[in-house]
Structure 1
Amino acid sequence: MGFAWTAHRFSGGALALDVANSVVLRFDAERRIDRFDDPAAIDAFAGAANLYGAERKRFGPLIPARLERRNAFIGLREATDRHFRALVRTEDRPDLLADLLEAIAAVLRQPAPAGKGTPLDVATAHSALGLISGPEPGRLKICPNCAWLFLDRSRNRSRTWCDMAVCGNRSKARRHYRRSREEPKP
């Protein structure tokens, strides 16, 4: 079965969060999957972000980051993940903010490639900068099912899962299964 970048993969609500979420099962060393291990997957991500990403209108058409810029892009992804996870957990970690700002600077200092469109790494850096100056407290969350970062844009800040159709349904199915196993049989 092949992998495809679907709308669910862009449920973070910001490009920087969607990029950070490209590592599946990040904290499970045996099952961890880095979707950006394959450079072609990064290119495909840029194309899919043009279709599904929450900030697709903000940046215009995204183009893949050039090969020589990929290390800085991956560094930005990791710094984004570390900083915003600490922020959600209300950990006071100014060192992680400094790391993120350095990663953003590393991307933005490189000469921009010629061509039409915004390079994925540059757009991700700008997205991360926007997140640093916001969002409102309580809007940034971690999905209890998949551990992805996402912005809760619901009016009353009650969103629990990154994507109700996927993670919400999985969680409800697990809960139903546990209850059905615990109930005595007639």
Structure 2
Amino acid sequence: MSFSWTPHRFSGSALALDVANSVVLRHDETRRIDRFEAPAQLETFPQAAAEFCAERAIFGDMVAPAPDNKGNFLELREATDRYFRARVSGDNDDQLLADLLGALARTLHGANGANGLDVATAHSVLRLIAMPDPERMKVCRNCGWLFIDRSKNRSRAWCDMAVCGNRAKANRHYRRRKEEEAP
């Protein structure tokens, strides 16, 4: 399958969320796509993140995790998703936080350099844990990705208005037209 990293893929507003969102349709086992399963995807992600990620000024150029730390990095990605998804739903599970902190420790311990994607992701996770407005983190109503709502009135419902927002609005329009046409 042909794939390229685009600005939409970095709509989480934090590197850690963009990494967590690298699993598409996470909760649909039949259609789930892990973008990091292909080694080339993981190799090109840091360069794309340096171009498109909201935190690019903080982390700058990054390299892919060392092969011997890839397992820890993927474990960090999954723990990040579980913890922040639960936090958005109001479930402040101490065990999920402990799992996340353990994954952070293993990832940082196995890191091969300060400019690795694994190190930058770990730092981004720590920044999110300490986020002053945790209620700004949301789950996209369309695709289920995690994102930070940076809108003034905190009313953002989609990770990316140009993609998910338009899809939701088009779907609503389609349903409304079908209802009007029904006898």
C-alpha distance in 2 between matches for 1:132 and 1:184: 49
Among candidates 143, 149, 157, match of residue 146 of structure 1:
143
Partner of 1:75: 75
C-alpha distance in 2 between matches for 1:135 and 1:167: 27
Partner of 2:166: 169
Shift, 1:111, TM fit: 4.8
1:114-166 per-residue CA deviation (whole Å, 9 max, x = no partner) reads: xxx71000000000000001140320000010000000011111111000000
What amino acid maps onto 1:81 in structure 2? D
C-alpha distance in 2 between matches for 1:44 and 1:135: 32
Identity of aligned residues (%): 59
**1:118-137 equivalences in 2 (<5 Å):** 118-137=115-134
Shift, 1:92, TM fit: 2.6
Query: What TM-score does the superposition give when structure 1 sets the normalisation length?
Result: 0.95
Q: 1:161 to 1:135 in 2, by over 3 A?
A: farther
What amino acid maps onto 1:132 in structure 2? I
Which blocks of at least 5 consecutive residues in structure 1 are unaligned? none
SS in 1 for 2:133: coil
C-alpha distance in 1 between matches for 2:181 and 2:73: 54
Matched, 1:23 2:23: yes
1:77-100 per-residue CA deviation (whole Å, 9 max, x = no partner) reads: 000000000000001311000000
Instruction: Report which stretch shifted further, 160-169 or 39-48.
Output: 39-48
Partner of 1:2: 2
1:19-71 per-residue CA deviation (whole Å, 9 max, x = no partner) reads: 00000000001000000001110111111001000111101211111111100
**Alignment check: 8 A CA contact 2:11 2:147 kept:** yes
Shift, 1:185, TM fit: 7.1
Provide the alpha-carbon RMSD of the alignment. Answer: 1.4
Number of equivalenced pairs:
183
Which blocks of at least 5 consecutive residues in structure 2 are unaligned? none
Partner of 1:65: 65
What amino acid maps onto 1:6 in structure 2? T
SS in 2 for 1:141: strand
Query: What TM-score does the superposition give when structure 2 sets the normalisation length?
Result: 0.96
What amino acid maps onto 2:34 in structure 1? D
SS in 1 for 2:112: coil
Partner of 1:12: 12
